[in-house]
Amino acid sequence: MTTPDRQIDKIFGALESAGFPRSLQNMLLPEWVTPEVLSDAAVSSEIAVILAKRLGLRASPLFTVSPRVESLRRRDIKYKRSIPNKSKDLTAATSIAVSIAESIASACRIEFSPLPDSADTLRREVLASPGYWIGLRNLLMTCWSHGIPVVYLAGLGQGVAKMDGMVVYTGDRPVIILSKASPLWAWQLFILAHEIAHIVLGHVAPGEILIDEELGEDSYALKDPDLDERAADMFAIEMLNGIKNATYTVSGDQINSRELAHTAHKFGKANQVDPGHIVLNFANKTGKWDIGIAAAKLLESEGQPAWAVINDAMWGGIDPKALPLDTVEFLDRVTGSSPE
């Protein structure tokens, strides 16, 4: 005699087949879920509803005889910066990012107001806030002052791919999601500037999602044939540097990471350009990524990891009390951070 499949097991299987691995499902489950709890049909139904909510799915199709997965919201998705032969399955990360964006947008303390429509004007606005240059922290603060949330999406478990950056346009505001797996402020700064450019240049509209799959060594600054991507790079570079198409080199063929970091810091302070951006820009121009990354690490050796700075700003920019407790717990898990 065989034991009939439990509905919850069918639901887990349907989600896995739709691109939501069991490792991710387990991460999203509330702490009180145990094997004993799952054996209770009534409680397991509640668990399925929680998963559906956190993944942005319709709950009712999960309870049919043959569970199926349906998105709760229909949005046009624009995939950008996909590296040939390295394309990722971003189904799970996209679904979670949309849920995050909608939750954060609903609790944002500031009403949305558009950013300046030129790189020069936006640069001057950011530089009016504290800081020697446009850096990650003051650019984040500028976004939040315009009611544009910025969130860092942490690791989602083994086998779950993430994008480097994206913009989700909710009903009343754009939300920027950063998720590149790098602690470097300079990397996240450039991606943030790039996503801001997409918003300012009108590349993403209400009801749309724009996903930059990868903004790394193989796809950085003006190397993409896509016109929107090149325009976003050009806007970001002009805003961060104060001049169009800025690139950096050094005299002579030999320079080590410590010398590069020192030179970049001196130049950056004098010209209001983030030294970390300078060394990554140098690496992109010369192909010397090992030296550039090492220099960026030296420049940031005493700071918090970038994700902590991003999510500290997030918790300060929203009212957690405006969200249900289970949503706050969900945000804790997927951002790897919590309100103080």
pLDDT, position 143: 98
Predicted pLDDT of residue 1 = 33
Q: Which of the residue ranges 16-25, 119-128, 143-152 would you say has the lowest mean pLDDT? A: 16-25
| Sign of the torsion angle spanned by Cα atoms 192, 283, 269, 261 | positive
Nearest-CA neighbor of 267 among 289, 253, 249, 290? 249
In three-state secondary structure terms, 227 is helix
pLDDT at 213: 85
**Residue 86 pLDDT > 60:** no
Look at residue 72 in the predicted model and tell me its pLDDT: 67
pLDDT band for position 217 (cuts 50, 70, 90): low
Q: Does position 51 have pLDDT exceeding 90, yes or no?
A: no
In angstroms, the CA 62 to CA 272 distance is 54
DSSP state for residue 217 in the 8-state scheme: T
- pLDDT at 87 > cutoff 70: no
Q: Is the pLDDT of residue 124 over 50?
A: yes
Higher pLDDT among residues 174 and 51, named by residue: 174
d(CA 60, CA 58): 6
Quote the pLDDT of residue 83: 60
Query: How far is CA 293 from its chain centroid?
Result: 20
Judged by DSSP in three states, 185 sits in helix
Q: How confident is the model at residue 2 (pLDDT cuts 50, 70, 90)?
A: very low
> Residue 129: is its pLDDT beyond 70?
yes
330: CB partners within 8 A, 6+ apart: 28, 54, 99, 103
Helix pair 185-200, 227-241: axis angle to 10 deg: 120
Q: Averaged over 182-211, what is the pLDDT?
A: 94
Per-residue pLDDT band at 293 (split at 50, 70, 90): very high
Confidence of residue 312 (pLDDT cuts 50, 70, 90): very high
Closest by Cα among 173, 170, 195 to 114:
173
CB 159, CB 23: distance < 8 Å: yes
Q: What is the pLDDT of residue 85?
A: 53
What pTM does this model have? Answer: 0.90
Q: What is the per-residue pLDDT across 55-64, written as a single tens digit (0 to 9) for each?
A: 888 888 888 8
**Average model confidence (pLDDT) across the chain:** 88
Highest mean pLDDT among 54-58, 143-147, 182-186, 231-235: 143-147
Q: Say yes or no to pLDDT of 84 above 60.
A: no
Contacts with 230 (C-beta within 8 Å, 6 or more apart), sequence order:
222, 224
DSSP 97-112: HHHHHHHHHHHBSS--
Query: Is-contact 212 191, C-beta < 8 A?
Result: yes
Output DSSP code: residue 83: P
Predicted local distance difference test score (pLDDT) of residue 130: 86
Is pLDDT above 60 for 122?
yes
Count of residues for the chain?
Answer: 340
The alpha carbon of 60 is separated from its chain's Cα centroid by a whole number of angstroms, namely 30
Domain chopping of the chain, boundaries: 7-63, 76-246+304-335
| pLDDT reported for residue 256 | 92
